[in-house]
Amino acid sequence: MTTLKNSKGFWLSIVLALIFFGIMQFSISSGMLNPFYINTLMFIGINIMLATSLHLIIGITGQFSIGHAGFLAVGAYASAVMTMKLELPFIIAILAGGIIAAAAGMVIGIPSLRLKGDYLAIATLGFGEIVRIVLLNIEYVGGASGMQVSHLTTWPWVFACVMITVIVIRNFTNSTHGRACISVREDETAADAMGINTTYYKVAAFVIGAFFAGVAGSLYAHNFYIIQPSNFGFLKSFDILIFVVLGGLGSLSGSVLAAILLTIVTTFLQDYPETRMIIYSLVLILMMIFRPQGLMGTREISTLFTHKKTKGGKKDGSHNTVA
C-alpha cells in the first residue's frame, strides 16, 4: 500500500515538473524572461545535478569526497572536445562527458576502497587538483588560456538532464542497492558481515555520481563561450559540497533545495564574491555547530507531509510489544 502511495507522489511531482518546464519554456521563447534570469535557471539546473550526484557519494554512501569539481572538469572538457574538435552532435558530447567522467570516477573510486573519512577527503581533493593541473598542461585543450566552446545548452536540455539525474538517483537510492550503499555509510564492517560487497557499492556510487557530474559538466561547458582549468579548482568542489551539507547529508530533496537556494543567493551576490564566500563559510561553520544534520537531516520532503501518520503508528506499536 505504501508503495502505491509513494508512486502517486512520484507521478504528481513529475507532472508538476513538466508544467513548470512548460511555463518556463513559454516564458523563454516569448521573451518574457530576460537573459539574466534564463542564465540563473540554467545554473540552478546544473547545480542541482552536481548537488544530487555528490549527495549519492557523500550523503548516501558516506564516502567523503571533496574533489567533485574534478568530475565536472572531465565532463566539461570531454564534451567540449567532442563538439569543438570532433564536431559531433551535442547529445553525443553530453553522453561522452558523462561516460568519461564515470571512468574517472572508477579511477578515484578504487583508492577509496582503502581510505576512510578525512584521508579519503584529502585524496579526492588531490585528485581534483591533479585533473586541473593536467588540463593546464595539455596544449590540445588550450592549456591555461582555456578552450572556446559554442553555446549549445538550452533550457530543454537542462530540464531533461536534471529530471533524468534526479529520477535515476532517487530510483537507485530507493532500492536494495541504495540500502546497500547506506549500510556502507552506517557501518562498513557490519555491512560486510551481512554479505554486502562494500567495494562494489563504493565504486558504483563514485561511477554513477561522476557520470552525472560529467553530464552537468557538458551542460556547464556549453553554457559558456570559454572554459578554463581555473573554473574547476577546489573552490568549485567546496561550492558543491556546501549544497550537500546545507541540504542535509542523506537527503535528496535537501540537496535540490539547497542547490536552488544557494544558486539564487550566488546570482544576487555576483558582484560581491567575497561577501558570498563569507556568507557561505559562516553557513558552514554555524551549521556544523548548531545543526550538523543540515536543513532536512536525512528526511525527504515527502516524509514531512506524512510525518503525523507515522507517529500515530509508532505509538500503537510500542504499546503491544512488551513480550
Partner 1 sequence: MELIQQLVNGISLGSIYALIALGYTMVYGIVKLINFAHGDVFMVGSFVGFYAITVMDLSFISALLISMFTCAIFGVLIERIAYKPLRNATRIAALITAIGVSLLIENGLIYIRGAQPEAYPNNVLPMDKLDIFGVSISSQSILILSVSIILMIILQFVVHKTKIGKAMRAVSFDSEAAKLMGINVNNTISATFAIGSALAGAAGVIFGIYYIKIEPLMGVLPGLKAFVAAVLGGIGIIPGAMVGGLLLGVIEALVSAAGYSLWRDGVAFIVLILILIFLPQGLFGKNKREKV
Partner 2 sequence: MEATIPLLKVDSVGIRFGGLKAVSDVNVELFPGELVGLIGPNGAGKTTFFNLLTGVYVPTEGTIALNGENLKKQPPYKITRKGISRTFQNIRLFSELSVIDNVKVAYHSLAKHAIVSSIFRLSGHFSGEKDMDEKALEFLRIFNLDHFKDEKAKNLPYGQQRRLEIARALAANPKLLLLDEPAAGMNPHETKELMNLIAFIRKEFNLTVLLIEHDMSLVMGVCERIYVLDHGQLIAHGKPGEIRNDPKVIEAYLGEEVL
Report if residue 140 touches partner 1, rule: CB under 8 A: no
- The stretch near partner 1 (CB under 8 A) out of 167-175, 210-218, 252-260, 271-279 is 271-279
| Contact yes or no for 121/66 (Cβ under 8 A) | yes
Report if residue 103 touches partner 1, rule: CB under 8 A: no
Instruction: State the DSSP code for 298.
Output: T
Report if residue 121 touches partner 1, rule: CB under 8 A: yes
The correct pick among 225, 292, 304, 314 for binding partner 1 (CB under 8 A) is 292
Nearer to partner 2, 30 or 320 (CB): 320
The binder of 258, among partner 2, partner 1, none, by C-beta within 5 to 8 A per type, is none
Report if residue 281 touches partner 1, rule: CB under 8 A: yes
Please, what is the end-to-end C-alpha distance for the chain in angstroms?
28
| Nearest distance from C-beta of residue 81 to partner 1, angstroms | 20
Q: What is the dihedral of CA 216, 104, 120, 45, to 10 degrees?
A: 0
Nearer to partner 1, 156 or 273 (CB): 273
Please give the Cα distance from 123 to 255 (Å, whole number): 23
| Nearest distance from C-beta of residue 121 to partner 2, angstroms | 21
* Per-residue binding letters, 147-176, with partner 1 (x by CB under 8 A): ------------------------------
Bridge partners of residue 227, in order along the sequence: 147
Burial class (CB in 10 A: 0-12, 13-18, 19+), 241: buried
Nearer to partner 1, 9 or 143 (CB): 143
Please give the Cα distance from 163 to 49 (Å, whole number): 9
Instruction: Report helix angle 234-247 to 117-136, nearest 10.
Output: 140
> b/e per residue, 54-91, with b = 16+ CB within 10 A?
bbbbbbbbbbbbbbbbbbbbbbbbbbbbbbbeeeeebe
- Residues of this chain that interact with partner 2 (CB under 8 A) are 3, 168, 171-172, 175-180, 182-183, 185-187, 189-198, 204, 250, 298, 310, 313-314, 316-318, 320-321, 323
Nearer to partner 1, 92 or 283 (CB): 283
Give the 3-state secondary structure of residue 226.
Answer: strand
Report if residue 133 touches partner 1, rule: CB under 8 A: yes
Please give the Cα distance from 94 to 162 (Å, whole number): 13
Please give the Cα distance from 245 to 57 (Å, whole number): 12
Return residues touching partner 1 (CB under 8 A).
64, 66, 111, 114-115, 117-119, 121-123, 125-127, 129-130, 133-134, 136-137, 189, 238, 241, 245, 249, 273-275, 277-278, 280-285, 287-289, 292
